[in-house]
Structure formats: structure tokens, C-alpha cells
A = this chain, B = another copy of it.
Amino acid sequence: MFNLKRVKNFDPTLYLVTDQMLAKGRPVEFIVEQAAKGGATMVQLREKDCSTLDFVNLAILIKKLLDSYHIPLIINDRLDVALASDADGLHIGQEDMPYTIARKILGKNKIIGLSVENIEQAKVADEFDVDYIGLSPVFVTGTKPELTNSLGLEGVRRIASFSKHCMVAIGGIHAKNAAEVLKAGANGLAVVSAIVSADDPMKATREIRQEIDKFKTAGKSEPG
């Protein structure tokens, strides 16, 4: 379906997005490893409030950790950190580096994902060869309080009706609503607080992963 497999193991089925502020004092590497063990298929490091040096050092640490699980690492916003850690890709928002510049610098062998917050941005994204679009936010969430207009399931359905891209939904996703977001057309689910803030991040990841696998298995057994 999506042939842009620039990176081996590219698989946004269950995509952990980190947030140190939501980790209840636990280190990011702990959350990431628990999620890897629980069935996360991709990880995005999102660190807004640390020095470049700390971000680079963290990214190098997490890259090594995820390599041992054969899970790709994506860096949020900071192309410099992605290059410094030899991460597998970059995730950019609408206020980050323009896609065309990012692709030129990163080259064709790295993953680039782009957040879209509405139909218009999803249409613009269709003109780029991004590897996935992040539909953000599907539901209103405490992680990004500045985004007041959620896409909702209807927004996911509308974008799914035309977008050529692999679509990862993000924002307020957890085990109980995972199936309906996939049913609306998302190809993968990005999860922040339902894993990062969970008392047991591995168990939380496993529960979401089971819902995804259940949905996909059911889909395959349905006629057509």
C-alpha cells in the first residue's frame, strides 16, 4: 500500500511519542524500553524544554536502545538532533522546518512525517512525498492544550477519503478508542499520555497493541 519504506522496519502501527513532562518523574529511556517490550513499533522523541546537548545525548541513548529492538527512532522538530543521533527520521509540525528543506537536508533514505491539523493542510501534504501524515489532534487532549480544534473521527474519515499518505492519528488515543480510530481510516496510532503517564507503560502499550491487532485480524477475516 505505502511503498515509501525508506527505513527498514518502518511501521507506525503503534507509535509512542514521548513527553518528559508526562512521565511522572521516570526517565524517558525507561518509558521507551517498556513501550518497546509492550509492542510499540515506532518511537518519536519529543523534547521541547531541554538544551540541544541534552536532547542530542538523549537521542543517541534512545537510538542505541531502539536499535536493539529493531524499532525506528523519529525526532520531533529538531533536524539537527536527528542528524546528530543518526535517527531514522524526523517529525515536523506546521511551525517547524518546511518539508522541502528538511527532505533536501535529510536525503531520501530517512523517514519524514508531517503533522496536519485540518483538511486544508492534509491536501497540501498530498503534494509532498512525506512518509506519513500525523492527524493531530483526533481528540482534545491535555498534551497540546493550544490545539482546541480536534479533527474527530469525522476528520480522520474525510482525510482518509483523499490522502495518498500513510495516516497516523494522534491525540487522546488509548486502548478503549483505538479500534474506532482505525475504523475511521487511520493506518497507525500515535500515543502519548496513555503510555507515558501509565503506571505500567509496558502493560498499557500491550493493551493498545492488542486492540490494534484485534482490529486488523477482524478486518482480514471480513469478506472483501
Contacts and interface: CB of A to CB of B under 8 A. Distances in A.
Interface of A: 51-54, 56, 77-80, 83-84, 94-98, 101-102, 105
Contacts of A51: 95-96
Contacts of A84: 79, 97-98, 101-102, 105
Interface of A (DSSP majority class): helix
A101 to B, nearest CB: 5
A53 B83 contact: no
B52 A95 contact: yes
A91 B78 CA distance: 17
Nearest to A52: B96
Nearest to A53: B95
Nearest to A95: B51
Contacts of A54: 95
A96 B51 CA distance: 6
A83 B105 CA distance: 7
A53 B83 CA distance: 18
Contacts of A97: 52-53, 56, 80, 84
A57 to B, nearest CB: 9
B52 A101 contact: no
A40 to B, nearest CB: 26
A48 to B, nearest CB: 11
Contacts of A53: 94-98
Which of A53, A54, A80, A98 lies at the interface centre, i.e. has the most chain B CB atoms within 10 A of its CB? A80
Q: Which 5 A-B residue pairs are closest in the complex by CB-CB distance?
A: A79-B80, A51-B95, A80-B80, A52-B96, A84-B101
Contacts of A94: 53
Contacts of A96: 51-53
A56 B98 contact: yes
Residue from A53, A54, A77, A102 having most chain B Cβ neighbours under 10 A:
A53
A37 to B, nearest CB: 30
A97 B57 CA distance: 9
A56 B96 CA distance: 9
A105 B105 CA distance: 11
Given A52-B78, A52-B95, 4 more contacts: A53-B97, A56-B101, A78-B80, A79-B84
